[in-house]
Structure 1
């Protein structure tokens, strides 16, 4: 292929990634991978148990000693590493089931209400917000963070980190819900503030945006207790706050477009903190999930033989997960990839692999779209685990 990409290994997060992940978490405002060493370490441990349980087919079990919300749900943290140095460059994650009975996801559902005066022969259309508590426990994608020097990288490292999650969902469909949720981050000012929070949320919750976002790592009860349950006429907000409803910032716009190209849709719900849109899709209707299958590794091929690219992965019964985005050749029931990629996977001919072909349209998306879909709000905190 003439459009060769660099080689990167996507794997599960490890203890030795802790310092790098902490540095990444400090680089972006209010990410749901908080800049807290203990919380990140706990997430890595929980992720390792989740990968191991998925590989063996046994249910993952978590005690009450974990930190943060969602600590009872399987969490899968991916890291993309440079093939030469082994250094972690970024991370993304999946929460298998976010929330549930007694622990709802929280959103504002938007609708329009038309009022008309017969005497005046005039009317008004209002935007109404109503608090929605969702206990259905959807799968949530998030936690996509890249170091600044790797954003907008020609190899589209962020896209690889984002799409590998659908590859993994396809391999372990039973681990995940029938609906996938992505909470997109609303526009944030350079100093990390958000006008929607200042004019809406802070009228009911007397915390700064930073304080409220941080507290969501541990509890969302305060949101349920303090935000009004009645219809809220958002028309009362200043224009600059209303303008943020269901909008994303420029860094998140490529991610939104990518997810929409994959079949995600906006269901009319926004985040009550920053007004960012919630996107969702039926898991079975996501093409990358649907096209994922198990195959046999047929050995090495020359890169110029390949006519496409695919996610190719290998797992051990201990939960080790290694994946590459590689050129491939399909011969019968076997898949061949270049020797360098095979070395990264540490596989031999005849081994079982996970395989997700990426068609021409998706390959163009991978190479030409922007990179850091969720880099502003991504993965696994109490409030937002996606940026998407």
Structure 2
């Protein structure tokens, strides 16, 4: 059984191994010892703090309870851009027209912005290839919504998620058509640098509006386009209510999805119930089930049986994975939109 829980100090080796597998363009977890150590330190500090940190990184791992192996990771930044600038491009439209010449042209533009400063961010979602089955990806991603629903005071009213942009053979057409002209370095190097220090972005990026029709065709086509490995994650978030509103990553052109936290399906529809432990195996629809604890938060998925209005039945295996006992209060929501209790 898979369970999502807060990262712990002893997960360092597993986190380092996950970082070796993410690949070029996965900015928030790269094959870099320094970044991995900093990520772990930030994740531990978020859960150890006596009071909520203004900029906290809540980092979770997915553990296979049968083997003890860590097979995935996900995170939530409580707020972005408060101490380091948060940059992206806003895709806009300019009209160039002349009635006298019978000319009317709509031109797509890119303008660098800090519009999402202070928003919470879903980040660092990665699942090892061998674990990408049985809806594990849905559990890993949506467990964050259960945590946000349980602790809304720790997050902004709005949340964003930057999707990895399109690339082929580790080459980003958007970067080659735009960023390289101002940075004179490869995409992989710029992407790695941005994860550690964003100051150089402000120093080198053009401040003026960019007309996309001046970019190579391949770069234009990559705007708002998602990497093939990230497309399932994008669909999952869109099914929960997040939307692309015309903001893209300044490096690879990947789309930024956003929503009000309270408008997200898993947050909006989740409810409290108490646990009854029964060895009978329920059948049917899968539910997310999460605890109400903070530092020992846990989330798994399982079919449930409704015993009464506010009581659900779970197996001993589910109760063990969640570390709950008879009568414990938990939060539940259908794994996917559709039929409910």
TM-score > 0.5 by shorter chain: yes
Distance 1:359 1:120, change over 3 A: closer
Please, which of 274, 278, 282 is the counterpart of residue 256 of structure 2? Answer: 278
Distance 2:166 2:63 in 1: 29
* 1:215, distance to aligned residue in structure 2 (A): 1.2
SS in 1 for 2:291: strand
SS in 1 for 2:107: strand
* 1:131, distance to aligned residue in structure 2 (A): 0.8
Give the equivalent residue in structure 2 for 1:136: 117
* 1:49, distance to aligned residue in structure 2 (A): 3.2
SS in 2 for 1:112: strand
Q: Is the CA contact 2:35–2:196 (under 8 Å) kept in the aligned structure 1?
A: no
Give the equivalent residue in structure 1 for 2:95: 114
* 1:324, distance to aligned residue in structure 2 (A): 1.5
Please state if 1:48 is matched with 2:81: no
Structure 2: gaps of 5 or more residues: none
Give the equivalent residue in structure 1 for 2:25: 30
Distance 1:209 1:52, change over 3 A: same
- 15-24 or 155-164, which deviates more: 15-24
Please state if 1:95 is matched with 2:88: no
Give the equivalent residue in structure 2 for 1:15: 9
Structure 1: gaps of 5 or more residues: 1-6, 62-71, 364-388
Distance 1:341 1:130 in 2: 49
Distance 1:246 1:135, change over 3 A: closer
Distance 1:103 1:286 in 2: 27
Give the equivalent residue in structure 1 for 2:303: 327
Q: Is the CA contact 1:170–1:291 (under 8 Å) kept in the aligned structure 2?
A: no
Distance 1:131 1:359, change over 3 A: closer
* 1:307, distance to aligned residue in structure 2 (A): 4.7
SS in 1 for 2:125: strand
* 1:44, distance to aligned residue in structure 2 (A): 2.4
* 1:106, distance to aligned residue in structure 2 (A): 0.8
* 1:222, distance to aligned residue in structure 2 (A): 1.7
Normalised to the residue count of structure 2, the TM-score between the two structures is 0.91
Structure with larger RCO (C-alpha < 8 A, sep 6+): 1
Q: Is the CA contact 1:301–1:336 (under 8 Å) kept in the aligned structure 2?
A: no
Please state if 1:351 is matched with 2:328: yes
Q: Is the CA contact 2:174–2:219 (under 8 Å) kept in the aligned structure 1?
A: yes
SS in 2 for 1:91: strand
* 1:243, distance to aligned residue in structure 2 (A): 0.6
Distance 1:52 1:351, change over 3 A: farther
Distance 1:315 1:38, change over 3 A: farther
SS in 2 for 1:290: helix
Distance 1:135 1:347, change over 3 A: closer
Distance 2:119 2:339 in 1: 25
Q: Is the CA contact 1:300–1:342 (under 8 Å) kept in the aligned structure 2?
A: no
Please, which of 74, 81, 86 is the counterpart of residue 105 of structure 1? Answer: 86
Distance 1:239 1:360, change over 3 A: closer
* 1:164, distance to aligned residue in structure 2 (A): 0.5
Give the equivalent residue in structure 1 for 2:199: 221
* 1:359, distance to aligned residue in structure 2 (A): 5.4
SS in 2 for 1:207: coil
Distance 2:280 2:337 in 1: 19
- 170-179 or 326-335, which deviates more: 326-335
Distance 1:24 1:39 in 2: 12
Give the equivalent residue in structure 2 for 1:377: none
Distance 1:122 1:316 in 2: 62
* 1:280, distance to aligned residue in structure 2 (A): 0.2
Give the equivalent residue in structure 1 for 2:212: 234
Distance 1:47 1:83, change over 3 A: same
* 1:119, distance to aligned residue in structure 2 (A): 4.5
Q: How does 1:179-198 map to 2 (within 5 A)?
A: 179-190=158-169, 192-198=170-176
Give the equivalent residue in structure 2 for 1:85: 67
Post-superposition Cα deviations, 1:298-350, rounded to whole Å, max 9, x if no partner, equal 2225223x553322223557x12222111112323223212211122232112
Number of residue pairs the alignment of both structures matches: 337
